[in-house]
Amino acid sequence: MSESRTALVTGGGSGIGRSIALRLAEDGFAVAVLDLNGESAEQVAEEARQKGHTAAAFGNVDVSDRGQADEAVRRVRETLGGPVLVLVNNAGVARTESFLKISDDSWNRIMAVNLNGPFYFCQAVVPDMKEAGWGRIVNISSSSAQSGQQYMTHYVASKAGLIGFTKALALELGPAGITVNTIPPGFVDTPMLRASEERGLLGGTVDHHAELTPVRRPGRPEDIAAACSFLVSEEAGYITGQVIGVNGGRNT
> For ligand NAP, what does the binding mask look like between residues 31 and 50, x meaning CB under 6 A?
----xxx--x----------
Is the CA virtual torsion 119, 162, 223, 240 positive or negative?
Answer: negative
Other Cβ atoms within 10 Å of 156 Cβ, number: 21
Which of these segments, 51-59, 89-97, 163-171, 172-180, binds ligand NAP (CB under 6 A)?
89-97
Bridge partners (DSSP) of residue 131 are none
Q: Smallest Cα–Cα separation from 90: which of 15, 165, 143?
A: 15
245 binds ligand NAP (CB under 6 A): no
Element (DSSP H or E) covering residue 194: helix 191-198
Residue 225 contacts ligand NAP per CB under 6 A? no
Our finding on whether 64 is near ligand NAP (CB under 6 A) is: yes
Find the shortest distance in angstroms from Cβ 195 to ligand NAP. Answer: 8
Pick 135 or 186: Cβ nearer ligand NAP: 186
Go through 97-116 and write b for each residue having 16 or more CB atoms within 10 A of its CB, e for each that does not: beeeebeeeebebbbbbbbb
Residue 13 binds to ligand NAP (criterion: CB under 6 A): yes
Q: Which residue lies nearer to ligand NAP by CB, 132 or 206?
A: 206
Residue 250: strand, helix, or coil: coil
**Contact string 97-136 vs ligand NAP (x = CB under 6 A):** ----------------x-----------------------
CB of 171 to ligand NAP, least distance (A): 23
SS3 8: strand
Burial of 141 (0-12, 13-18, 19+ CB in 10 A): buried
- Alpha helices, DSSP H only, in 81-152? 104-111, 117-132, 144-147
Residue 55 pairs with which residues in a beta bridge? Answer: 31
Residue from 72, 91, 138, 160 that binds ligand NAP (CB under 6 A)? 91
Q: Is 62 in the site for ligand NAP (CB under 6 A)?
A: yes
Q: Is 238 among the residues known to form the active site?
A: no
What is the CB-side half-sphere exposure of residue 18 using CA atoms within 13 A?
20
54 near ligand NAP (CB under 6 A): no
- Alpha-carbon gap, residue 87 to 228, rounded angstroms: 11
In the set 6, 142, 179, 182, which binds ligand NAP (CB under 6 A)?
142
Convert residues 180-209 into a mask of x (bound to ligand NAP by CB under 6 A) and - (unbound). -----xxxx-xxxx----------------
Number of residues that bind ligand NAP (CB under 6 A): 32
Residues that bind ligand NAP (CB under 6 A): 10-11, 13-17, 35-37, 40, 61-64, 90-94, 113, 140, 142-143, 185-188, 190-193
- The set of catalytic residues is 155
